[in-house]
Each structure stands twice: as structure tokens, then as C-alpha cells.
Structure 1
Amino acid sequence: MGFLRELTEEYLGSLKYVARIVPREVELPRESPDIVAVVGPRRSGKTFVMLRSVERDLAEGLQALYVPLDEPSLRRLDARRFAEMVREEYREGRVRLYMDEVQDWEDWDSKLRWLHDVKDFQLYVTGSSSALQSSEIPSRLRGRYVSRLVLPFSFREVARAELGAEPSTFRERGALKGLLREYLAWGGFPEVWLYRSREKAVALLETMFYRDIVERHRVREPEALLELAYVVLSSYASPVTWRSLARSLKGLGVEVDAKTAASYVEYMRQAFLVFVVKRFAYSERLRARSPRKVYVVDPAVASLFERPLDLGRRAENVVLVELVRRGCEPGYYVTSRGREVDFAAKCGGSLRLVEVCLEVEEGHVRKVAEAMRELRLREAELVSWDDEDEREVEGGRVRVVPLWKWLLGA
């Protein structure tokens, strides 16, 4: 067994020491003509997903290697010498290379392009959020990539790990809703969830803030950025404009203009700390001029800024993250009468209208029906805490779905 296969076996062996494994539903493409870039927030499980994929490949008799490029003996290898090392391990046939900490490989972008172009390898790459962010990948790989987003655990992942099958009795449904309350409090970052630890959540957020944002973007006034982050994160799921953020900071004695406020929020977005949602409209000018809504990547972040837990906002945020996880592009919608519906999400070739309301009232139904007429949709969803039924409206229907069921994929 050569050096690269020994490294692979060492890292696969480390999976035995994971205290509790929550099976992930993230699937990396089995075959792709492009480099697969595995992206997502810090400590969300990108390396774990890659190792599990290597393990599966080897079990199926495929040729696969896990390559941690922070290994000192690999950092300065040129692409051809590295390819020779792979061929010493696997003499012929296509080899699947799972390359971690790719930012530590000198001139990694040109080396990856060469490895891709020789057609011997299927490449999967990921790296540190503080040094390699998804916004860099398109320009540096010059169109030779497809990305896969790895987010913290979904509720469905933790529910299947903790409780197993979908509930069928009142006991099982009660246990599931209790688990959902825990999830809304602790979120899905693996270490935070598994240990239910506020200290781990604080440490994670501090690392994301200082390494992935302040150091990564060389922010000259981190105190101003910290104040803005506090305002944004504590008012998640609420409409904001860059001018309103600047005014809020001025009230705190911090002078930041609207352009700088926009840049700071963009840094947070690039670090996968927040999602920025625009208004859904067919007019690009209207979209650009309307307020944004900023959501946090995980309930654990909200828990550090919100006491007591705001169940309604937390549920709305979790639905937003789940829409992103399912590959949708969410926006919020404002009807001609000025009524706001939480999400009008582009999902593939269709538009999905979703309103989150813990207790369904007739006003929610009328508002969603109005949006349906304007958007020419025949179906919409009201996500509740407990209610489940269907409401017939003019030209279509509104499905009322409990939050737990919607998160499980209803």
C-alpha cells in the first residue's frame, strides 16, 4: 500500500471515533465532467461528507483516495508529480480524488485545471472557509466546476438519527415535536447539536467572525463590523436596507455609510453566516430598490442573540434554510395591496409559494390567495405548528402543513 492509500485509510479510520454519527443526506455526484466543489459554512461537515463518499466508493470497488493537502509532503508537489503518485497507487482507470484543504496547495487553481484536463481523475475539492470561499471558485476554475452545498444538519437528518421512521402514533408525534423544539433552539451544526453546547456555538461564531470575515477580508474596523453583525443577526428575518443599517449603527455611535454596510453583509454572506433574500418581482429595478431580508444559516446563531426564543421567526428561518437546501432560490413576495408573503421560491422550473404561520388565521389564507392570483399559481403552502388541512380558494388550493411534516419533506 502506497503513501496516498495509507493516508486515506488513516482518515477513514478516524470515523470510528466519532461519538454519534448522524447520517447525511448530501450526495456528491457519482460522475461529473466538472470539478465538484464542496462548499458551505465552517464546521458543517464538508470533510465528513467527503470521507463517507470515499468509504462508499471503496466498498463498491471503485478507485478512490482522500488527499489532505495540508499534509507537508504534498503542499509543494506540482500537478504532474502528484498525478504520478496517484498512478503508483492505481495504475490504470479513472481515479476519484477527494482533495481537502485545497487552499494549502500552491497554485491550486492551475493544478486542478491541469488534473481536470488530462481526464484521468474525477475531482472533488473543498477548503477552509477562511482561505477559500465559493465566490472565488468560478473565476479561478474558469467554468470547470459544479458546486455542492453542505449545510448543518437538517431536521430530517436529526429526526431520522434520533427517532427513526416517520411517526404514526401520538407518542411518536409528540416526541418528534419535542425534538423539533430542541432543533429550533440548538440548530444543526454537528458539534453544537451533538453536545447541546452554547459554548461551542459561541466559539464557532467567533471563529467564523474573526477568521472567515475579519481576517479574510482584512477589515480595518472590526468593531464597526461587530456592531453591524449584532444588529443584523439579532433582527434576522426582518426587512432591512443598507441605509437603515447605517442609521441603526449611527444610533449606537458607530459611523458607517450605506455602501460599507452592504459590503459587511456581503462578507457575512460569503462566509455562509447569513442568507440575503430579495423581493420576488419580475422587475429587476423593483427587486434592487426593495428592502432585503437577512436570515441566519442555522438556529444556533439565532439562539446567541435572541432570548426568549421567538418560535415564529425561528420557524420562518428554518423554512428558508430548508428551501435553500432543496436547491430553491427564495424571495419574499409583496402583493399589490402591500401584503407580504414569506417566500416565493424558484424551485427548478416552478414557483413555490410558502407562508409560515404557527396558528393559521383567515387573514393568512386571504393573503396567500391574493398572491396566488397575481402570480397565477394554483397551489400554495401554509406552514403551521399543528394544523393540517386544505383550503379551497378561487382558482386553486392552499395546503396547511405542520412544520415538522414540511421539514420531513411533505
Structure 2
Amino acid sequence: MKEIFKIIISDFLEKEMPEIIEREIKVPLNSNKIISLIGARRTGKTFLFYSAIKKLRKENKNDQIIYINFEDDRLFPLELKDFNLFIEAYYELFPKNRDQTVYLFFDEIQNIENWEKFIRRIDDSLKCKIFITGSSSKFLSKEIATSLRGRTISFEVFPFNFTEYLAFKGIDRNHYSSKNRSKIINALDDYVNHSSFPELLSASDIEKPKILKEYLDLIIYKDLIERYNISNLYLIKYLIKFLLTNTSNPISITKIFNDLKSQGVKVSKNSLYQYIEYLEDAYILFPVKIFSNNVREIQRNPQKIYSLDSGLVDTVSIKNDIGRRFENIIFLELRRKYKNISYLKLKQEIDFCFKDSDKIYLLNSCYQINELTTRNRELNSLVEGMNHLNISQSFLITNSHEEEITIEKKTIFIIPLWKWLLQNN
């Protein structure tokens, strides 16, 4: 195994970094903390590493910067004790670097059991800066919260946000120019209706469906089947299809349970809840619960489901429900900043309820409010919610309408999605 590590290290040092699409996440290069990037596969974690490595190579010798992908088939099977061989291999190749700061980039390190013990040990004993990635929220957060508590700075990585998308397309985000504004609004239509995974942005229309299907299959097999030893492939595929098809909708576990039962599939409701947790752990889907301090009320009410990317929905459904895609984009933008997002259900439903610095915000999503009944429904639900929570402001995100309304001394800001996305960044 030591010789294999030497080959992998040497191969990397000869590798030129690919062209990098700059992201808004900036990886700290000289922090005293361990830097961790967490997110679904293919969201760009590795390329954030490459971007950091490219910058470091300008100021350091190449052999001080090492990248290891723990999904490299040459490293299977790898155990905790083999990490020592990596350290030995590196310093046998570069003994002069024992007194130099070494930058260690470990991709998908969660695949190795007890990896955090190794990371803690080298953080204590070697002169190094450590960077790690993983595609499991629980696997990383659990270890980080125990063995590595206080030692890490974590960043979640999602597909491109709208400002990153505009930058990739070469569109200036200055919306005060009429020409730019038209380009921004046209770009939003593509952004809402298509995938924003980095690789998909430059893929042809023929390639996109194939790439997305490969992504989903990879997540199913690597992050679900293998990680959790799931034996019923039909069940997990059925569940993913059902949930992706119902993106932005409330879902009933009882309905799923009864549908499967009618097909002769044996599964408990508890198992279905567990599988949804697995999907959330892999960052494919995000359940949103009702806003309440009552545990029973939370359990009694359905969860709403949102997906990581609009393109994933296209792999299982031919329907193009613009209202639901629109709402999903809003959720993802909120989720990039806030983990605790709920929906509020009173006489009417409010799509999103979240906290920022202990202040509660309410936000509704509605693609078009041209019809009076639709407009009144959206506004009345927000007024009801503001009265219930004793807050004075809320937001209604639409496709194009902009207005500020005061009702019963409560202010509702109606904002076009493109402007909200730019302001939010």
C-alpha cells in the first residue's frame, strides 16, 4: 500500500489543474482550523479544492501540496492503519518537507472508518493544513461534533446559485442597465427550468439527461445502497421517483406506505422515514416540517419535500410545473444560508418560515399574482402569519411583479425572483 500511495502522490504532482469555474465559496488557505466541504456528489467540492491548490502552487513548492481521492480504486480496501503508510510514503519521497508546512487535501475521506482519529492525530503532530470533503451530512457532522469539535470550519456546497450562474454565462449582474436586466431575466428562465450542477452548464442538450441519470445512479449506489446496506433496490428507486416527482409538495408517508403495500412491497412506515433521512443525508432531498413548538403537531402534519436540483426532477418526471420549480429555487437559496426552515400552517399555508439572528421571517412563493383571487390568497396568508407571530414584515416572491404593500400596519414586499436572488447574495 505504501508504494501505491507513492504512485498516487507522484501522479498528482505531475497533474496540471484543470480550468476552474470560480465559485462564491472561498476556501480559507491558511486557517488554523481543518477546512471541510460537505455536499452532494458533483456539486463542485473537488473543483473548489483544485482552485485552492492552484492558488497555493503560486506561493509554495508543488511537493508541499498533496491531494488524495479516497474513492481511487487503487486504494481499496483501505483501513485506518493504512493512513500511517500514506504519511511514511510522503516523507520518504520528500524528507526535506518535515519542517515545512504541508497542505493535505483529502477527498471523500468519510469512506474510511474512524478517519477522524487519523485527522486529529496529524493535526496534533504534523506541521500541516488539512482540507477534507464528504458527501454525507451526518457522517461528517457526527465526527466533527465529537473528535474534531472546535477544530473545523465547515462549508456546504450546492449546485450553482443564480449569481454564480450569471458569472458562468458572462452576464453582468448590474440590473440598473436595461440591457443587462433583460439578459438577467432571460437567464433566470433557464436557471429555473434546467440543472445548475457545474458540469451540466457546459453540456449539450443531448448529453444533459444522460449525465443527470448517471449522477442519480451514482448517488443511489454509492451513498445509499453501499453506505446503508440497502438490499431492496426497487423500493429506494420508487421512493426517490415519488419524492422527486412531488418536489415542493407535502408528502404523506401513509400514502406511500399504502401504494407500496398495494404493489406487494413489504416495508414499515419507520423504514420509509429512515430512507427519507438517508436521502437528506446524501443531499438529494430536503424535508421541511411544519412550524410548531408542539412535537406531536410536527409529527402529525406532512413534510414538504424539496430537491437539490431541478434537473434531478427531470430524470423521473416529464411534467414541467413552473410554480413548483419556482418554489424549489427559492427553497434552495434559503437553504444555502439557513438550516432550520419550516412552513407555517394556519387557516392558510405560508411556504417558508425561517430565523435570521433570532428574527423570524415569512416568505411566500407565487409565480404569477395577476388573478385577484391568487393575489388575495397570498397576501391574506402572510397577514395572518404576521399577526400570529407578531412580526411586521414579510415577503412574496413572484416572477416579475414588484410592489410594497401595507395592510393592517403590516408591510409585504413583493419582489421578482431575479432581484431577490441577486439581493440575497
TM-score (structure 1 length as normaliser): 0.87
Gaps of 5+ in 2: 1-5, 370-374
1:180 matches 2:188: yes
Q: Distance in 2 between matches of 1:358 and 1:281?
A: 27
Identity across the alignment (%) = 25
Q: Distance in 1 between matches of 2:286 and 2:211?
A: 22
Q: Secondary structure at the match of 1:404?
A: helix
Shift, 1:121, TM fit: 2.6
2:236 counterpart residue number:
225
Q: Distance in 2 between matches of 1:312 and 1:107?
A: 44
1:268–1:159 distance in 2 versus 1, CA, 3 Å: same
Shift, 1:66, TM fit: 3.4
1:66 counterpart residue number:
66
**Of 336, 349, 372, which aligns to 1:340?**
349
Q: Distance in 1 between matches of 2:111 and 2:276?
A: 27
1:292 matches 2:292: no
1:405–1:251 distance in 2 versus 1, CA, 3 Å: farther
Q: Secondary structure at the match of 2:360?
A: strand
Decide whether the 8 Å contact of 1:134 with 1:270 is kept in 2: yes
Query: What one-letter code is carried by the residue in structure 1 that aligns with 2:360?
Result: L
Shift, 1:232, TM fit: 1.3
Shift, 1:248, TM fit: 2.9
Shift, 1:61, TM fit: 5.9
**Of 195, 203, 207, which aligns to 2:214?**
203
Shift, 1:93, TM fit: 5.7
1:248 counterpart residue number:
259
Alignment of 1:11-410 (within 5 A): 11=15, 13-16=16-19, 21-30=20-29, 32-59=31-58, 65-70=65-70, 76-78=82-84, 81=88, 84=91, 88=95, 90-92=97-99, 94-103=101-110, 108-118=115-125, 120-127=127-134, 129=135, 133-141=136-144, 142-144=146-148, 145-166=152-173, 167-195=175-203, 196=205, 197-335=208-346, 337=347, 339-360=348-369, 361-410=375-424
Gaps of 5+ in 1: none
Equivalent pairs counted in the alignment come to: 398
Decide whether the 8 Å contact of 2:171 with 2:183 is kept in 1: no
1:177–1:254 distance in 2 versus 1, CA, 3 Å: farther
Shift, 1:188, TM fit: 1.0
Decide whether the 8 Å contact of 1:83 with 1:115 is kept in 2: no
Shift, 1:349, TM fit: 3.1
Decide whether the 8 Å contact of 2:120 with 2:147 is kept in 1: no
Shift, 1:31, TM fit: 5.3
Q: Distance in 1 between matches of 2:7 and 2:226?
A: 34
Q: Secondary structure at the match of 1:343?
A: strand
TM-score (structure 2 length as normaliser): 0.84
Shift, 1:122, TM fit: 2.8
Shift, 1:271, TM fit: 1.3
Decide whether the 8 Å contact of 1:379 with 1:397 is kept in 2: yes
Decide whether the 8 Å contact of 1:69 with 1:105 is kept in 2: no
Q: Distance in 1 between matches of 2:128 and 2:357?
A: 30
1:227–1:308 distance in 2 versus 1, CA, 3 Å: closer
CA RMSD of superposed structures (Å): 2.9
Decide whether the 8 Å contact of 1:345 with 1:353 is kept in 2: yes
Q: Deviations over 1:317-368 (max 9, x none)?
A: 1111111112342111112x2x111100123433221110012312211111
1:48–1:80 distance in 2 versus 1, CA, 3 Å: closer
Decide whether the 8 Å contact of 1:316 with 1:356 is kept in 2: yes
Q: Distance in 2 between matches of 1:378 and 1:90?
A: 60
Shift, 1:293, TM fit: 0.9
2:372 counterpart residue number:
none
Query: What one-letter code is carried by the residue in structure 1 that aligns with 2:163?
Result: R
Shift, 1:90, TM fit: 3.9
Q: Deviations over 1:385-406 (max 9, x none)?
A: 0011211133431111111111
Q: Distance in 1 between matches of 2:172 and 2:254?
A: 48
Shift, 1:252, TM fit: 4.2
Decide whether the 8 Å contact of 1:315 with 1:356 is kept in 2: yes
Decide whether the 8 Å contact of 2:244 with 2:307 is kept in 1: yes
